[in-house]
């Protein structure tokens, strides 16, 4: 099951983006987006780490999860209120990080 399908099954409204630029456009169109999960390797004008920094600057309350099966990131690589989750994604770890970041607001 994909992460998008998992979150839809949990009752979330999911917007999928095929590039960092599409993700920014989705955020511009849907101000209610509260959580963004992105891969480090994204097509478009920026990678997932740069996307996370752009989102943090433009939409500060957004919870950010950055994931990769190749790169290993530390907190120093990411903006505040974000987390790195390695692939393959453990859904429980992802949920735990989202909950932790929700409380950090």
The residue extents of the domains of the chain are 3-103
CA torsion 42-3-103-73 (nearest 10°) is: -40
Task: Specify the residue for token string 């839809």.
Answer: 8
Instruction: Compute the half-sphere exposure of residue 72: CA atoms within 13 Å on the CB side of its CA.
Output: 0
- pLDDT above 70 for 105: no
31-74 residue pLDDT tens = 899 999 999 999 989 999 999 999 999 999 999 999 999 888 98
Domain 3-103 adopts which CATH fold?
Rossmann fold (3.40.50)
Model confidence pTM above 0.75? yes
């Amino acid at each position: 099951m994909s992460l998008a399908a998992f979150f839809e099954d949990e009752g979330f409204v999911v917007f999928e983006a095929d590039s960092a630029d599409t993700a920014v456009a989705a955020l511009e169109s849907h101000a209610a987006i509260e959580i963004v999960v992105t891969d480090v390797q994204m097509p478009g004008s920026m990678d997932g780490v740069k996307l996370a920094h752009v989102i943090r600057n433009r939409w500060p309350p957004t919870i950010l999860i950055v994931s990769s099966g190749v790169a290993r990131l530390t907190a120093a690589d990411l903006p505040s209120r974000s987390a790195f989750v390695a692939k393959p994604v453990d859904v429980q770890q992802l949920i735990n990080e989202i909950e932790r970041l929700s409380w950090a607001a």
